Amino acid sequence: MDTKYHMIDYIHETGPVLQRTLVSNEEKIIQSVAQMRHKRIEQIILTGMGSSYTAAVMSFPLMRIHSTIPVHVIPSTELSYFFGSLINERAAVISISRSGERGWVVNGLNQSIKEGAMGIAVTGVPESFLARSAPIQWITQEGQESSFPKTKSVITCSGIMMRLALALSKPDNDSAQRNLDALRRMPEKISEIVSTLDTQVQEMISYIQEHSTFVICGTGSNYGTALESAIKLQETTDITSLSDDTGNFFHGPLAPLDANWLLIQLIHSSDLDLSVQLLDLAKRIGAHTLGITEKGLNIGDHSDRYLTLPVKVDKMMASLAYLPSIQLINYYLAVAMGKNPDRPEAAAAILDSILPPGHMEPDY
């Protein structure tokens, strides 16, 4: 694997850029929450497309536990169903788009503001259409990301949403403070994860490459990781990749599995028993398995292969720690297959279909 592309550098930059994003937006988030309470906001809608949508899903478990205001995650393509009902003067709509150029996202935010909603843009490009459309902007700090499959920006967007979740908690919530402390330690942990797993993933690629179909499963925050992982695997390798909640995958979707399938199971100590049951059942059906676990878990008797994160992580923020391992798999698998992970073959056609006339993908 002598050829090197930008994507691997971006994966290794994830920890520091998350740190910069959290620090630079801290005051803005606190001010925005105060404004929400002043406006008596009754609903918060997180919206985006593709990886921006999955970034919101990754943050949703923390939102559900800590936010004192109900939170909904809705794809930008479906916002129009809720104008005048859920989206009104008592709603805050937070539109997420790294590029800030996606037509559905920009138009959805503009219409939400016309409906009276409080509008917030989360983007990595301060001069983008989305940023210019929003009264409030939270700018992520990932810098240049010229590869089509986004990596570090997914984690910065999810991390900023997790910070919002904790800012929306009750002031005397000790659990929220512990989670906040854990979130602020995540950049360092992510850097350790990437540097530790890089070589291990490379050594495992030949095994992974033997399979023609992938399915990725996880629970809680890692359900969002599974969704994002399937998107990225298909973007970079063209291999059919599915995703599901671990428990839901027991009910029907297991039926087609055979030796051509690889089940990638995201395993946290909170879902260990359920994950082991799925691994054992998948092997019994004939599929192959790869478990990704946090430090301290032993699944050697249940999974054909496994990767172990060098750290333990809070279950509500597990996605920030587990996603880089899948991103490394995406990168090295694409390179092993002779593909350019920065410029997937379908990228140009995809951008032509989703970018409005006159809009361009930044850095691409």
Which residues contact residue 7 at a Cβ distance below 8 angstroms, ignoring those fewer than 6 apart? 147, 149, 151, 236, 327, 330, 331, 341, 342
Which residues contact residue 179 at a Cβ distance below 8 angstroms, ignoring those fewer than 6 apart? 62, 66, 166, 314, 316, 317
pLDDT number for residue 301: 93
202-218 pLDDT, tens per residue? 999 999 999 999 999 99
Under 8 Å between Cβ of 74 and 82? yes
pTM metric for this prediction:
0.93
Under 8 Å between Cβ of 152 and 13? yes
pLDDT number for residue 251: 81
Angle at 349 between CA 336 and CA 330, to 5 degrees: 25
pLDDT number for residue 100: 85
For 149-169, b/e burial (b = at least 16 CB within 10 A) is bbbbbbbbbbbbbbbbbbbbb
- Spans in the chain with pLDDT lower than 70: 1-3, 344-364
pLDDT number for residue 4: 83
Q: CA-to-CA distance for 226 and 218, rounded, in angstroms?
A: 6
Domain boundaries for CATH 3.40.50.10490 within the chain:
6-186, 188-347
Token pair for 127: 């001069």
Q: How far is CA 156 from the centre of its chain?
A: 9
Which residues contact residue 347 at a Cβ distance below 8 angstroms, ignoring those fewer than 6 apart? 148, 235, 364
Token pair for 202: 């490379």
pLDDT number for residue 102: 78
CATH number of 188-347: 3.40.50.10490
What 8-state DSSP symbol labels residue 63?
H
85-125 pLDDT, tens per residue? 999 999 999 999 998 887 889 999 999 999 999 999 999 99
CA distances from 336 to 41, 49, 179, 206, 259 (A): 50, 29, 38, 8, 21
CATH class of segment(s) 6-186: alpha beta
Q: CA-to-CA distance for 333 and 8, rounded, in angstroms?
A: 12
3-state secondary structure of 312: coil
Count Cβ atoms below 10 Å from residue 286 Cβ, excluding itself: 11
Which residues contact residue 42 at a Cβ distance below 8 angstroms, ignoring those fewer than 6 apart? 69, 70, 90, 91
